[in-house]
Amino acid sequence: MSDSDEMGRANEMRRAKEMRPAKEMRRANGMPPADELLQPEMMGSEAEVAFEGALRPKSLAEFVGQHRVRGQLQLLLDAATIQNRTPDHILLAGPPGLGKTTLAMIVAHESGRPLRMSSGPAIQHAGDLAAVLSSLVPGEVLFVDEIHRMARSAEELLYLAMEDFRIDIMVGKGAGATSIPLDLAPFTLVGATTRSGLLPNPLRDRFGFTAHLEFYDADELVHVLRRAAVLLELRVEDAALIEIANRSRGTPRIANRLLRRVRDYALVHGGEATRAVVRSALELYDVDELGLDRLDRAVMMILLTRFNGGPVGLNTLAVSVGEESETIESVVEPFLVRIGLIIRTPRGRMATREGWEHFGMQPRNDIAEQLAHKHRPTGNEGARAGTQQLFGDEL
């Protein structure tokens, strides 16, 4: 045996001795060794990944809610199939968690085309987009999530690609630079955005169809939850499903997340997922009857107790809660405004009468008068209200 072989064996034995205490320490703490994490019995997360995929409907007929958008998409896809062409480019706009990604997958499935998925933040250069577009096969569906966050240079390259299915690639620099046209295979672009106002008009106008997704009502969320409960093999009462739906902020993604937490709670404590179990589970996770979480309630309590219901500026409110102002403005405030607990005024944020009542508190007399004045109809609304009092509802 050569000297190099002996040195190699010595190094392997030394590394084995060094690894043995680490393995024993992980086992003593109830943690499997690193080399056992890839064993088949440790791959339980694959079942959860498969469940996530099963939750997504595969066709428009299975998709719950968004009746108008579903009908419009069905017509667009059927017309493209009859004419044997790729569907027009589609823009899906709406708040997070309403099914934009699922609808993009359905578009590809219903049209029988392959799907390529990307995101706006991942496309920061025109070359990134050119590489994706040039590799598309005929009829492929390209889904770009958060398309409003795509780089401006890539957006400008996308204009010509969407209209004429070609791009111009610049080769060289300065006076010697030349433009080489590159033909693309016909494709369908499906863009998803939570802030359609940030899209430039030339890009927005090139989409053949724009769908605005709306929040779900309680009945639609119950249907979503019932389907998910079947997939989870979870026995749950209808009253429990209604309870979860009422706390889901009108968003299927939140509803499915809360259902999984209820599943975990029922699994640990045993028994069926009754309404009482749902209330106990969601109370544990700080979700109240309106769907407010810990941060929502912290903002409301600061507004009500420290600032007497406002008005208070956004930055002051954020500092008082200990969060970034962007978090308050984009995560907390939209839901509080939508359910009528706060209002936005030129002087800042103010709690409404419903906000005071939800937390079981009473505003001061002067604040109560201001709130009553804000609810009193003025101008044309007041004139119309007086006319209706005289002549009834005939007008």
Please tell me the predicted confidence (pLDDT) of residue 2.
Answer: 53
The string over 210-240, giving b where at least 16 C-beta atoms fall within 10 Å of a residue's C-beta and e elsewhere, is: bbebebbebebbbbbbebbbeebebebeeeb
Q: Which of 100, 249, 263, 353 is catalytic?
A: 100
Read off the pLDDT of residues 106-144 as tens digits, 9 standing for 90 and up: 999 888 889 999 888 888 888 888 888 888 889 889 999
Inform me whether the pLDDT recorded for 295 exceeds 60. Answer: yes
What value does the mean pLDDT take over residues 168-177?
69
Average pLDDT, the chain: 78
Give CB contacts under 8 A, 24+ apart, made by 320-328. 321/295, 323/295, 327/295, 328/299
Catalytic residue among 113, 206, 249, 253: 253
For position 244, what pLDDT does the model report? 92
Q: Can you give the pLDDT at residue 368?
A: 54
pLDDT at 267: 85
CATH topology of domain 294-377: Arc Repressor Mutant, subunit A (1.10.10)
Distance CA 231, CA 160 (A): 44
Share of the chain above pLDDT 70, in %: 76
Position 394 scores a pLDDT of: 37
Q: Would the pLDDT of 38 be above 50?
A: no
- Domain residue ranges of the chain, discontinuous segments joined by +: 59-212, 218-284, 294-377
**CATH number of the 59-212 domain:** 3.40.50.300
The tens digit of pLDDT for each residue in 229-268 reads: 888 888 888 888 999 999 999 899 999 999 989 888 888 8
Choice among 23, 26, 70, 101 that is catalytic = 101
Tell me, yes or no, if 194 is annotated catalytic.
Answer: yes
Across the range 196-202, mean pLDDT stands at 86
In this predicted structure, the answer to whether residue 49 has a pLDDT above a threshold of 60 is no
Mean pLDDT in residue range 56-77: 88
**CATH 1.10.8.60 for domain 218-284:** yes
CA dihedral 20, 22, 24, 30 (to 10 degrees): -150
Catalytic residue flag (residue 9): no
Q: Is the pLDDT of residue 70 over 60?
A: yes
Give dist(CA 348, CA 370) in Å, integer: 14
Task: Give the residue-averaged pLDDT of 359-374.
Answer: 64
- Specify which of 92-96, 195-199, 268-272, 390-394 reaches the highest per-range mean pLDDT: 92-96
Instruction: Quickly state the pLDDT bin for 52 (edges 50, 70, 90).
Output: low
Confidence of residue 35 (pLDDT cuts 50, 70, 90): very low
The catalytic residue among 86, 102, 145, 296 is: 145
- Catalytic position from the list 194, 249, 349, 352: 194
Report in angstroms the alpha-carbon separations of 70 from 62, 75, 84, 293.
10, 9, 21, 31
Q: What is the pTM of this model?
A: 0.74
Residues 252, 216: contact at Cβ < 8 Å? yes
